[in-house]
Amino acid sequence: MSDEPFIPLEMESGFYPVRNLRLKYTNQTDMYGDGLFYHAVETDYFSNRGDVLGIDYRYDSVKDINSISGSIWYLLPYNFAAGYSLERAIETEVTIEEKIRLIYQPACWSVELSSNYTPDDQIFMVTFRLANIGSPFGIDLPGGN
C-alpha cells in the first residue's frame, strides 16, 4: 500500500465548430469527493499561414485563480515570428503572467529572444536551437525520426 494521495481526475473535450477554430474544455475533480475544483475554456483560431489567436478562461479554486488570457502568434517575413500573451486575474485585475517572444527560424536552427513577467519575477532569455544535428554524426537523439 502507498501513502501517496490520488492525483485529481482530469477530463478534456474538444470541438472544431468551423475550420481552423478549436474550442476546448478541461476540468479536474478531486478523487476524495470534494467535486470539481478546476475549469478551463480555451479557444484558438489557426490561420492557413500558421498564425494563432487564442482566448482562454480558467478557474482554479485550489490555487485561487480566476483569470482570462489572450495570446497571439504571428508569422513575419524573412523567417521571423512574434508572439505575445497576457493572463490577468478577473477580480483583482492583476497581471498573472505576460510573455513576449521574437524568433528567427531558418531551416535547421533558430534563435529566440523572450521576456516572461510574473508578479514575483522578470526573466529575459536568448535561446538557441539546433535541429537534426545528431543525424550527420550517427548519433540517435530522442525526438528524432
Render pLDDT for 50-61 as a digit per residue (tens, 0 to 9): 999 999 999 999
Model-level pTM? 0.76
For residue 73, being part of any structural domain is answered with: yes
For residue 108, being part of any structural domain is answered with: yes
Q: What is the mean pLDDT of residues 68-95?
A: 96
Query: What's the Cα-to-Cα distance from 75 to each of 45, 64, 98, 103, rounded to whole Å?
Result: 14, 35, 20, 9
For residue 3, being part of any structural domain is answered with: no
d(CA 71, CA 106): 23
Range(s) of the domain holding residue 27: 9-137
- In angstroms, the first-to-last Cα distance of the chain is 40
For residue 142, being part of any structural domain is answered with: no
Give the chain's mean pLDDT. Answer: 90
For residue 122, being part of any structural domain is answered with: yes
61 torsion bin: left (phi>0), alpha (psi -120 to 50), beta (else):
alpha
pLDDT computed for residue 145 by the predictor? 47
pLDDT tens readout for residues 11-48: 999 999 999 999 999 999 988 878 889 999 999 999 99
For residue 114, being part of any structural domain is answered with: yes
pLDDT computed for residue 115 by the predictor? 98
Residue 118 has pLDDT above 80, yes or no: yes
* Cβ proximity of 105 and 118 under 8 Å: no
- Domain count within the chain: 1
For residue 2, being part of any structural domain is answered with: no
pLDDT computed for residue 139 by the predictor? 58
Q: What is the mean pLDDT of residues 55-81?
A: 95
For residue 49, being part of any structural domain is answered with: yes
Nearest to 38 by CA among 7, 62, 5: 62
